[in-house]
Amino acid sequence: MRNKTIMAIVVLCCSFNSSKAQTNNIYAEFLGVGLLGSLNYERMVKDNIFARVSYGGFSIESTDYDDYWNEVTIKTSINPLSLGAHYLMGNKLKLEAGAGITYWMISVDGSLENSEADVGGISVTADGGFLMYYTSFGFRYQNPEGGLNLKAGISPIIVNVDGETGVLTWPHVSLGYSF
């Protein structure tokens, strides 16, 4: 399901057609909407308006011991898949504002290794997802003829889980190529 969703968004983003010369951007972003990092593709759909698709990843593993000296390991993985639109204003150094949706695909694996031989171990796996909204504000250096592009700014993510709403504000820095 995850691969089909990614492919559908890439095909949708690549199918936009404009009567003017096409501008494409591929870049790696540190922090931002992808949490720890993401790979991004943008395509100009109208003058200074870009459609964006990105896939990011964040993973953490922790090991601890309970009161009975049993080893407890929990691995959490979050893979945000984002789709949005960004507006650029300026010539080479541009102001950027954008918004979109991001779907967090979350996987949690946990295990308890019992030190007593009579019980053995326990493993638990759970998957799920949450739909979030994001905004993005910042600066971008991008030559209109193409080549290297650099971005920096902030990406507030509006988190709504079980009726509770909060905002995660992540800075972002990216390096990429325009063609």
Q: d(Cα 13, Cα 15) in Å, to the nearest integer? A: 6
- CA 106 distance to own-chain centroid: 12
Q: Which amino acid is at 156?
A: P
Q: For 36-62, give one letter per residue: b (16+ CB within 10 A) or e.
A: bbbebbbbbbeeeebbbbbbbebeeee
pLDDT at 91 over 80: yes
Q: d(Cα 168, Cα 153) in Å, to the nearest integer? A: 14
pTM, two decimal places: 0.78
Q: Which of 173, 133, 177, 146 is nearest to 36 (CA)?
A: 173
Interval 37-81: pLDDT, tens: 999 999 999 989 999 999 999 899 998 887 777 788 899 999 999
Q: d(Cα 86, Cα 108) in Å, to the nearest integer? A: 32
Residue 3: per-residue pLDDT: 62
Interval 94-110: pLDDT, tens: 999 999 999 999 999 98
What DSSP letter does each residue of the chain carry, written as one string? -HHHHHHHHHHHHHT---SS---EEEEEEEEGGGBTEEEEEEEEEETTEEEEEEEEEEEEEEEEE-TT--EEEEEEEEEEEEEEEEEEEESSEEEEEEEEEEEEEEEEEEEEE-SSTTT-EEEEEEEEEEEEEEEEEEEEEE-TT-EEEEEEEEEEEEEEETTEEEEEEEEEEEEEEE-
Residue 13: per-residue pLDDT: 54
